[in-house]
């Protein structure tokens, strides 16, 4: 046989193997032997059943196999199965509960245990526009987080928006400055992730209430709000001006300081002096804000005029309670809103966001300390006599103090840019808070200030949550301003004054009392809100209505 005949292919398989016209990268290289009788390629998928796992070969598996039961195993003596014979009970949600409660309940479940909601047929025929839904969700979350909402409430709103537009497999994540959301169409498809950074924060509870109404309409199955309509309403919220002008905010800052001075024993002259100091500090802070300085320096400058007026009274030997003037000015600067939000995040498990919020509170507090201590130290050096023990001589004037607490809550609500329809309710809530505090602390019961503050703040949170559920809105506008009369302004001032007079131990004790009061306020508000959610059912069944700087609140 010739050499040419030896090289001649002897079968179709050989021709396919040695055909020089085949240029596919999957062609069998020359010289590679192919096992006969195997017309198909071997399975290389990682999901293929490994050899030896077929049901027919299960009995022949060696004892050491991970897929075979041990020799000593007996089904008769087996322990109870992890999954009960009747199956795992399905978790059901109360359908008439507000969307905040339903979404919060689902967020607190593991992903695998969340019940699937009913199919939503409000998106387009070809399915939900995933990038646009995620973008709308992030924009809504940004407004809520920038407005002071807690991290859990922001995640609940984002979760509600996504599920309302058909994106069930979504996971929102909220930190102090970053929002992100991930959507995975199925277990075998790549997830889609979008994020947004919150760079500017502002206090506008009118806009916050409008965002809540938008989310409420999106989650309402009878509204059928389209993506285009949701975007249009969101754009209107961003363009809307604040409900109160700048001069009204300055007047409200003065009224808040004056009312706070009356709460700690001041008279008419003290009221006017504290109001003037707070308004002057507010204007100076606005001047620094217009120059682009950080809020730290704005708070430092805003704390100086009330302290300077108090020191001036002491130097002039005027028969005026100078300590009440300084205390009233501090009330307008204490970061009660950020403190409540930070403690709430910590209580609900968002420790990173809670740490960031509390760190922000600490910076603001340090700024106030620097501003007040600078003025008090200069006053002490030039001969000003300020008495830290004046805090022990606060007179009990129930009617006047209740009226002052209501004025304080009213002006607080204006500073927070609340809707006019909520101002009356929060004013009454603030009066109730001070009435409860006074009944517990200034009566023969003589309960400690910390316990009295916690009980009063708990009622504020309870009533605020009730009003929010009735109005289908956020609870912040009904609680933040109402806790104003409970803020530890006097304890803060006397602690700083003692430090300025070189009585460091006494000053630290007073500052520790201020911190305890602040924590009692935050925990009381959160506990009252949780009790309201657990025990009361005011749902969404029925008709519904259609729908700078932080100032330290």
Tokens of 128: 């939900």
Q: Return the pLDDT at 301.
A: 92
| CA dist., res. 158 & res. 165, Å (int) | 11
What is the DSSP pairing of strand 178-183 with strand 192-197?
antiparallel
Alpha helices, H only, 10-121? 12-18, 99-107
Residues contacting 478, CB < 8 A, separation 6+ = 422, 425, 426, 429, 463, 464, 465, 467, 468
| CA dist., res. 298 & res. 288, Å (int) | 6
Question: Can you give the three-state secondary structure of 350-415, one letter per residue?
Answer: CHHHHHHHHHHHHHHHHHHHHHHHHHHHHHHHCCCCCCHHHHHHCCCCHHHHHHHHHHHHHHHHHH
173 strand-pairing partners: 180
pTM of the full predicted structure?
0.69
Residue 329 and residue 306 in contact, taking contact as beta carbons nearer than 8 Å? yes
Rounded to the nearest 5 percent, the helix, strand and coil shares of the chain are 60, 5, 40
Pick the closest to residue 158 from 109, 195, 123 (CA basis): 195
Mean pLDDT per block of 10 residues along the chain (553 residues) reads 50 48 58 54 53 49 52 58 50 56 63 55 56 92 87 88 85 90 84 87 84 88 83 86 84 90 83 90 89 88 88 76 79 78 82 88 86 83 62 67 90 88 88 89 82 89 80 77 82 75 81 83 82 61 37 44
| CA dist., res. 203 & res. 416, Å (int) | 6
Residue 166 and residue 127 in contact, taking contact as beta carbons nearer than 8 Å? yes
495 φ, ψ to 5°?
Answer: -65, -45
Count CA atoms closer than 13 A to 408's CA, side-chain side.
Answer: 36
pLDDT in tens, 491-526: 777 777 777 777 888 888 888 888 888 888 888 888
Q: Return the pLDDT at 9.
A: 47
What is the average pLDDT value for the chain, to the nearest integer?
75
**Block residue for tokens 């919150």:** 198
Pick the closest to residue 310 from 288, 284, 278, 287 (CA basis): 278
Residue 258 and residue 321 in contact, taking contact as beta carbons nearer than 8 Å? no
180 φ, ψ to 5°?
Answer: -145, 155
Q: Return the pLDDT at 223.
A: 74
Q: Return the pLDDT at 23.
A: 53
| Burial category of 347 from C-beta neighbours within 10 Å (exposed 0-12, middle 13-18, buried 19 and up) | middle
Q: Return the pLDDT at 169.
A: 81
Q: Return the pLDDT at 141.
A: 92
Q: Return the pLDDT at 407.
A: 92
Max intra-chain CA distance, the chain: 132
Pick the closest to residue 457 from 516, 398, 521 (CA basis): 521
Cα 512 to chain centroid distance, Å, stands at 26
């Amino acid at each position: 046989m010739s050499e040419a005949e030896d090289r001649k292919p002897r079968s179709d398989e050989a021709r396919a193997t040695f055909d020089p016209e085949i240029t596919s990268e999957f062609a069998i290289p020359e010289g590679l032997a192919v096992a006969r009788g195997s017309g198909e390629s071997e399975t290389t998928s990682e999901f293929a059943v490994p050899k030896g796992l077929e049901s027919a070969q299960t009995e022949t598996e060696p004892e050491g196999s991970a897929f075979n039961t041990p020799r000593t195993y007996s089904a008769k003596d087996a322990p109870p199965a992890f999954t009960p014979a009747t199956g795992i009970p399905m978790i059901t949600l109360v359908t008439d509960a507000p969307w905040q409660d339903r979404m919060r309940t689902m967020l607190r479940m593991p992903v695998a245990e969340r019940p699937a909601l009913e199919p939503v047929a409000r998106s387009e025929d070809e399915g939900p526009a995933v990038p646009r839904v995620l973008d709308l969700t992030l924009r809504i979350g940004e407004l809520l987080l920038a407005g002071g909402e807690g991290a859990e409430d922001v995640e609940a709103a984002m979760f509600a928006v996504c599920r309302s537009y058909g994106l069930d497999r979504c996971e929102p994540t909220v930190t102090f400055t970053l929002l992100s959301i991930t959507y995975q169409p199925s277990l075998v498809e790549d997830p889609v992730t979008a994020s947004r950074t919150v760079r500017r924060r502002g206090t506008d509870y009118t806009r916050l209430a409008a965002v809540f109404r938008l989310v409420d309409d999106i989650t309402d199955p009878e509204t059928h709000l389209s993506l285009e309509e949701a975007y249009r309403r969101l754009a209107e919220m961003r363009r809307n001006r604040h409900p109160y002008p700048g001069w009204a905010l300055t007047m409200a800052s003065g009224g808040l300081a004056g009312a706070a001075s009356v709460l700690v024993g001041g008279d008419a002259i003290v009221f006017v002096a504290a109001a003037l100091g707070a308004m002057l500090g507010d204007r100076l802070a606005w001047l620094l804000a217009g120059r682009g300085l950080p809020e730290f320096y704005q708070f430092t400058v805003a704390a100086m005029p009330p302290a300077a007026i108090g020191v001036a009274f002491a130097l002039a030997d005027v028969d005026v309670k100078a300590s009440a003037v300084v205390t009233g000015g501090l009330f307008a600067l204490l970061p009660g809103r950020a403190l409540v939000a930070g403690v709430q995040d910590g209580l609900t498990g968002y420790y990173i966001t809670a740490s960031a919020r509390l760190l922000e509170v600490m910076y603001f507090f340090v700024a106030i300390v620097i501003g007040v201590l600078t003025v008090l130290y200069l006053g002490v050096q030039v001969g000003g006599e300020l008495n830290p023990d004046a805090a022990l001589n606060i007179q009990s004037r129930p009617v006047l103090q209740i009226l002052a607490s209501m004025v304080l809550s009213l002006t607080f609500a204006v500073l927070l840019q609340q809707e006019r329809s909520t101002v009356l309710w929060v004013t009454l809530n603030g009066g109730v808070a001070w009435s409860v505090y006074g009944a517990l602390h200034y009566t023969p019961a003589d309960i400690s200030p910390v316990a009295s503050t916690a009980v009063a703040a708990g009622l504020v949170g309870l009533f605020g949550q009730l009003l929010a559920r009735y109005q289908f809105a956020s609870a912040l506008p009904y609680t933040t301003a109402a806790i104003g009369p409970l803020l530890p302004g006097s304890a803060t001032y006397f602690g700083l004054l003692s430090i300025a007079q070189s009585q460091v131990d006494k000053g630290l004790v007073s500052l520790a009392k201020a911190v305890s009061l602040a924590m009692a306020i935050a925990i009381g508000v959160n506990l009252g809100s949780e009790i309201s959610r657990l025990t009361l059912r005011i749902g969404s069944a029925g008709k519904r209505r259609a729908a700078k700087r932080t100032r330290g609140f």
